[in-house]
């Protein structure tokens, strides 16, 4: 039986403790991972499951922005760096299938999804289907890159904030209102400055207190029917539009046209062959990586060959985050996804995405930390 949602107290605005900063520094494998993910061997549009004849715009600017964003993501997601290193040692071709971002609808109905869409459409991305995420009050849509590029697809979601418990919605509105004007995107694009454009994604325009974040996550226990949505809210209030995850296309690992053969899988060297996503999941588990136990025949795989899309993901890495009140503590951040596209399937499935979203759920992260 559902209980009443937790009321956010005025003390949620106050800092309760200070935790020493952990210096992350530069992982030695980050530059190689960034190079593999952004400057790997060229693959055909068909092997990448991309169809969009729209010419790319502002190619040099987007390439510089993408490089910055991949670098920032890699520095806070050591799991991705380590997986790319593993695949490189096995002679695999690493290709970034898509990246994902989260946002909100504000109190005036202004859409964070539309705000982010403004950015990617300016570079030649084509808006595709809206995606329904079962059991979550989200809007979602995906975007196809110009097929002449090697750019990733983009998946954007936004919380329908008005459908959250009112006390949580008010916290969101207090921080987010006024920050989702597409003119901010157009202004950054007009400068032609990669730093300014990358900051739209990587630098959160709002900042919550540690107590607000903790109380929002605690509210998930009082509303199990909205637990995943509330966890999504806490994550997005903390990290805003930063890349929530990056995805490696398993079809491309062999670097061969057509990808993974009759099973849409890749055979890569250096040990047992990797022909399916289940094989890749088993390899990563054997190497000590922790996957999101979202379900499926092997406990990790969302979807199937029958629905033409299979996905799995790691549990989010944690980072030291500085909150508005001065508290610094570890919180879930970004994760790595793996994907197999069968029969040239280009799109996304809401049922698959539902399980992937829980990779940043604190209960999942704490269970393996």
- DSSP assignment of 97-108 equals EEEEEEEEB-TT
Contact 350, 311 (CB under 8 A): no
Residue whose C-alpha is closest to residue 330's, from 319, 317, 344: 319
Three-class SS state of 141: strand
Residues 253-268: tens digit of each pLDDT: 876 544 443 344 555 6
Task: Please check the confidence at residue 46 and state whether its pLDDT lies above 90.
Answer: yes
Contact 309, 341 (CB under 8 A): yes
User: pTM here?
Assistant: 0.89
- Report the DSSP pairing between strands 96-104 and 153-159: parallel
> Going by C-beta distance under 8 Å and a sequence separation of 6 or more, which residues neighbour residue 82?
29, 289
Residues 53-63: tens digit of each pLDDT: 999 999 999 99
pLDDT, mean of residues 156-172 = 97
- Whole-angstrom distance, CA of residue 69 vs CA of residue 253: 23
CA 290 to chain centre: 17
Q: Give exposure, 200-209, as e/b (b: 16+ Cβ within 10 Å).
A: bbbebebebb
Instruction: Tell me what percent of the residues of the chain surpass a pLDDT of 90.
Output: 76
Average pLDDT value over all residues in the chain: 88
pLDDT, mean of residues 306-324 = 96
Place of tokens 């025949």: 297
- Whole-angstrom distance, CA of residue 329 vs CA of residue 315: 18
């Amino acid at each position: 039986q559902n209980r009443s949602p937790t009321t956010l107290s005025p003390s949620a605005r106050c800092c309760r403790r200070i935790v020493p900063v952990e210096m992350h520094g530069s992982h030695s494998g980050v530059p190689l991972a960034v190079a593999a993910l952004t400057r790997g061997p060229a693959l055909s549009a068909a092997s990448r499951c991309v169809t969009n004849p729209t010419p790319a715009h502002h190619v040099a600017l987007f390439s510089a922005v993408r490089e910055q964003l991949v670098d920032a993501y890699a520095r806070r997601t050591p799991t991705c760096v380590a997986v790319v290193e593993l695949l490189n040692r096995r002679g695999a071709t690493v290709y970034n299938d898509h990246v994902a971002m989260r946002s909100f609808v504000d109190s005036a109905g202004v859409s964070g999804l539309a705000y982010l869409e403004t950015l990617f459409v300016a570079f030649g991305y084509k808006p595709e289907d809206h995606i329904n995420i079962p059991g979550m009050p989200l809007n979602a849509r995906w975007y196809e890159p110009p097929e002449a590029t090697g750019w990733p697809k983009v998946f954007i979601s936004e919380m329908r904030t008005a459908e959250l418990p009112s006390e949580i919605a008010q916290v969101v509105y207090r921080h987010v209102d006024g920050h989702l004007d597409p003119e901010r995107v157009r202004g950054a694009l007009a400068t032609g400055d990669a730093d300014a454009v990358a900051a739209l994604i990587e630098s959160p325009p709002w900042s919550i207190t540690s107590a607000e974040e903790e109380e929002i996550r605690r509210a998930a226990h009082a509303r199990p029917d909205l637990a995943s949505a509330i966890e999504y809210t806490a994550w997005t209030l903390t990290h805003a539009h930063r890349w929530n995850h990056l995805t490696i296309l398993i079809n491309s690992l062999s670097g061969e046209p057509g990808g993974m053969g009759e099973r849409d899988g890749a055979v890569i060297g250096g040990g047992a062959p990797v022909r399916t996503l289940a094989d890749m999941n088993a390899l990563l588990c054997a190497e000590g990586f922790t996957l999101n136990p979202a379900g499926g025949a092997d406990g990790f795989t969302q979807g199937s060959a029958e629905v033409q899309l299979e996905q799995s993901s790691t549990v989010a890495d944690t980072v030291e985050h500085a909150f508005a009140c001065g508290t610094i503590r570890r919180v879930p951040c970004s994760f790595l996804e793996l994907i197999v596209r069968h029969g040239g399937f280009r799109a996304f499935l809401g049922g698959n995405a539902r399980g992937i979203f829980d990779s940043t759920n604190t209960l999942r992260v704490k269970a393996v930390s």
